[in-house]
């Protein structure tokens, strides 16, 4: 496959689709501390045409934030860049992460997030958390502490924290992180008018609440015992428009998305990092934890060495399916061992689709963004002066759509695309060579 093309795979021979380009290809880059590459995604699923511009703007804003950090501070690490980009995605209500996340059966937001440092191979994550504005920032603190080694009396620091234990840990460690209300006034949110009302102080958005009431109406028809009490009350009032009360398919916004947003970064030294953040599936049981918090499932990062390529990926899709297949780790294993990145990435998607671990599922939903960096020719200290870093950027998905953005520090603007799987195809794949 030629560089910069998107490939769709099906039972018949595969065909290729050229991306319309919104920015010219990056020229070869001279080496300095102001170089690097970032990529983000806003989930795999079915993104409505109505909200396409919002998703792509979210990708654009996140890429710009990451690149600005790389440009402005030569001491910035890839982990910090990924944390920053995902924070931007969490703050955007269009994404299913942080503010605006899907609501669980109890009409609450519960977020999962994780971050992996390719240099230390450290990992930190949090799960089922409701009381922090930016879950990825909490995961970053868990990563930071886990990389410090044993605690007093030789205790092992946690890699993952869940539920109420997260806030307790943050307080104990003395971190000052932005918090939100965990039991907001839902009726007030439902009647929110952005032209006259101040933004709410919780992670629950008006759109997410409307979607919850809509989905809950469908759930009440099929399984009344599981439906949430708040949504039941609202279905019986006139506070919702009739078309939202009586709709019987899709969501009010037309989006049917899977769990995760995420980001990856490689800096001028070839160091990499990856992260994910998720509000989880709509109407999930309280306490459910997605792949976004689980090691080897939602993200992976490892710097290049003299013997092996570097790699970073962020995964999205159906959380339970990704968890069972350890998709992030599987993606790394396949791409690191195969010189043909396009072929290796296609194998990842193909094996996922036919995995015997997923025999109980009728559909298989997954997507990823990844960077593969060529093995290091020199040490990191030498790289700061002499090394040109080469690699490949790749994304792929089995879902109808996936929103992606990517940008090098040398680019004037990000490339953002709502990748679409062609009718009759099983997968879509895109690769591009990068030079840093």
What residues are annotated to the active site? 260
Element holding 81 (H helix, E strand): helix 78-91
Helix axes 78-91, 52-72, angle to 10 degrees: 150
**Ordered DSSP codes for 180-206:** -BSS--HHHHHT--TTTSPPPSBS--H
Q: How far is CA 425 from CA 19, 397, 400, 402, 420, in A?
A: 17, 11, 9, 14, 10
In the numeric block, which tokens belong to residue 165?
């234990």
Element holding 209 (H helix, E strand): helix 206-222
Terminal Cα-to-Cα distance of the chain (whole angstroms): 22
Return d(Cα 99, Cα 104) in angstroms, integer.
14
CA angle 188–193–197, rounded 5-degree value: 75
Is the CB of residue 4 less than 8 Å from the CB of residue 326?
A: no
**φ, ψ at 211 (rounded to 5°):** -65, -40
Return d(Cα 289, Cα 145) in angstroms, integer.
22
Is the CB of residue 265 less than 8 Å from the CB of residue 38?
A: yes
Q: How far is CA 62 from CA 32, 38, 154, 371, 413, in A?
A: 23, 9, 39, 17, 12
CB atoms under 10 Å from CB of 396, counted, come to 29
| Three-state SS sequence of 256-318 | EECCEEEEEEEECCCCEEEEEEECCCCCCCCCCCCHHHCCCCCEEEECCCCCCCEEEEEEEEC
Find the farthest-apart pair of alpha carbons in the chain and give their distance in angstroms, rounded: 68
What are 116's strand-pairing partners?
123, 274
The 3-state DSSP composition of the chain as helix, strand, coil percent (nearest 5) reads 35, 25, 40
How many CA atoms within 13 Å lie on the side-chain side of 329? 11
């Amino acid at each position: 496959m030629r560089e910069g093309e998107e490939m769709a795979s099906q039972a018949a021979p595969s065909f290729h689709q050229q991306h319309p380009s919104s920015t010219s290809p990056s020229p070869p880059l001279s080496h300095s501390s102001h170089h690097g590459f970032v990529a983000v995604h806003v989930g795999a699923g079915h993104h409505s045409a109505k909200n396409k511009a919002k998703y792509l703007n979210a990708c654009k804003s996140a890429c710009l934030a990451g690149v600005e950090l790389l440009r402005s501070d030569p001491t910035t690490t890839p982990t910090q860049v990924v944390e920053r980009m995902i924070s931007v995605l969490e703050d955007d209500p269009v994404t299913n992460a942080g503010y605006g996340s899907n609501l669980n059966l109890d009409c609450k937001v519960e977020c999962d997030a994780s971050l992996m440092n390719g240099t230390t191979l450290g990992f930190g994550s949090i799960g089922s958390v409701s009381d922090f504005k930016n879950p990825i920032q909490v995961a970053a603190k868990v990563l930071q502490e886990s990389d410090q080694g044993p605690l007093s009396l030789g205790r092992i620091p946690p890699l993952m924290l869940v539920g109420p234990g997260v806030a307790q840990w943050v307080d104990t460690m003395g971190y000052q992180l932005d918090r939100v209300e965990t039991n907001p006034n839902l009726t007030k949110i439902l009647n929110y008018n952005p032209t006259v009302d101040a933004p709410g102080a919780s992670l629950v958005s008006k759109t997410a609440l409307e979607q919850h009431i809509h989905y809950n109406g469908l759930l009440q028809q099929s399984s009344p015992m599981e439906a949430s009490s708040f949504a039941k009350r609202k279905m019986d009032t006139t506070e919702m428009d009739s078309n939202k009360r009586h709709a019987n398919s899709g969501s009010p916004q037309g989006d049917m998305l899977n769990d995760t947003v995420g980001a990856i970064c490689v800096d001028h030294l070839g160091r990499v990092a990856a992260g994910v953040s998720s509000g989880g599936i709509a109407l999930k049981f309280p306490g459910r934890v997605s792949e976004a918090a689980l090691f080897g499932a939602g993200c992976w990062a490892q710097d290049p060495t003299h013997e092996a390529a570097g790699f970073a990926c962020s995964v999205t899709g159906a959380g339970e399916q990704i968890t069972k297949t350890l998709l992030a780790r599987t993606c790394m294993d396949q791409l690191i061992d195969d010189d043909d990145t396009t072929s290796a990435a296609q194998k990842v998607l193909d094996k996922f689709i036919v995995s015997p671990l997923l025999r109980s599922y009728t559909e298989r939903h997954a997507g990823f963004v990844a960077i593969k960096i060529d093995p290091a020719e020199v040490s990191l200290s030498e790289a700061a002066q002499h090394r040109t870093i080469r690699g490949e950027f790749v994304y792929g998905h089995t879902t109808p759509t996936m929103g992606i953005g990517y940008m090098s520090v040398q680019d004037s603007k990000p490339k953002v695309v709502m990748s679409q799987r062609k009718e009759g195809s099983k997968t879509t794949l895109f690769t591009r060579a990068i030079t840093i």
